[in-house]
């Protein structure tokens, strides 16, 4: 019985490992959905997502997100080990080191893993992030991230749904200030509301806007150089 259970567990582990191996190349050309979106659909909860190509998202938002979430996005290959080491020294806990989660790692979690702060999930992000970065262009990576990230308190996913909820306009039409507010909502769209920003969120957005004005063009150079 133990041998059979071990065999079944091994086969299940292999099958789960093959999911990203198979789907990452598919998602290079097909618009994906996140595991959280699938879970909300399965449980009857609200999901709002309007896929938009990168050309239909304001460059100000692209730059603000990159500067805030992964400033070395164009330089690393999916995992920023320097940031990870610094975050580990600050928090002494791999599971709490969200600041070291690159956009590739966050996308790996969104598409193939589960929310939470478990060590196992964090460790699984690393090889998937490397694989994603190998298969996709940086442009495709940020396009997918901007369309699958949870970005609102009531089942809003992606930049378009978030922009329409907060500002009643498309993601293409966002101003620099609005883009900074939306970018500042990440990583906590449940508690932070760009439609009704309090003092804390407004302060974060102001700092994000200043950082984007200083470094946004360089941080996102690989995106727009590839056009």
Which region among 36-40, 92-96, 119-123, 191-195 has the lowest average model confidence (pLDDT)? 92-96
Question: How does the average pLDDT of the chain come out, rounded?
Answer: 87
- How does residue 3 score in pLDDT terms, banded at 50, 70 and 90? low
Using CA atoms in the order 79, 85, 90, 93, what is the torsion angle rounded to 10 degrees? 70
Say whether pLDDT at 103 is over 60. Answer: yes
What are the domain boundaries of the chain? Answer: 31-225
pLDDT value at residue 95 = 46
% of the chain residues with pLDDT over 70: 83
- How does residue 12 score in pLDDT terms, banded at 50, 70 and 90? low
pLDDT value at residue 101 = 86
pLDDT value at residue 62 = 97
Instruction: With beta carbons less than 8 A apart as the criterion, state whether 159 and 151 touch.
Output: yes
Question: CA 126, CA 106: separation in Å to the nearest integer?
Answer: 10
| pLDDT (tens digit per residue) in 20-77 | 999 999 999 999 999 999 999 999 999 999 999 999 999 999 999 999 999 999 999 9
Which region among 1-15, 186-200, 209-223 has the lowest average model confidence (pLDDT)? 1-15
31-225 CATH pick, 1.10.3810.10, 1.10.510.10, 1.10.287.130, 3.40.50.2300: 1.10.3810.10
Nearest by Cα to 53 from 178, 160, 133: 160
DSSP alpha helices (H): ranges in the chain?
Answer: 2-27, 35-42, 59-69, 81-91, 103-112, 119-135, 138-148, 158-167, 176-185, 199-219, 221-225
Residue whose entry in the numeric block shows the structure tokens 């939470």: 116
Sign for the CA dihedral angle at 150, 66, 64, 164 comes to negative
């Amino acid at each position: 019985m133990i041998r059979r259970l071990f065999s079944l567990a091994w086969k299940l582990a292999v099958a789960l490992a093959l999911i990203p191996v198979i789907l990452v190349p598919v998602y290079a050309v097909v618009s994906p959905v996140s595991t959280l979106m699938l879970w909300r659909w399965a449980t009857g909860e609200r999901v709002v997502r309007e896929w938009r190509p990168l050309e239909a998202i304001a460059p100000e938002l692209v730059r603000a997100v990159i500067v805030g979430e992964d400033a070395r996005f164009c330089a690393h290959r999916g995992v920023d080990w320097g940031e990870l080491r610094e975050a580990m020294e600050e928090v002494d806990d791999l599971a709490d080191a969200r600041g070291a989660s690159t956009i590739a790692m966050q996308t790996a979690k969104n598409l193939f893993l589960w929310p939470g702060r478990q060590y196992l999930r964090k460790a699984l992000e690393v090889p998937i992030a490397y694989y994603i970065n190998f298969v996709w262009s940086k442009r495709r990576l940020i396009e997918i991230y901007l369309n699958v990230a949870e970005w609102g308190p009531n089942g809003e996913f992606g930049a378009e749904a978030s922009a329409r909820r907060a500002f009643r306009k498309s993601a293409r039409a966002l101003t620099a200030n609005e883009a900074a507010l939306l970018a500042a909502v990440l990583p906590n769209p449940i508690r932070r509301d760009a439609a009704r920003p309090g003092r804390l969120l407004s302060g974060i957005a102001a700092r994000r806007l200043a950082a984007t004005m200083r470094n946004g063009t360089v941080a996102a150079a690989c995106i727009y150089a590839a056009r």
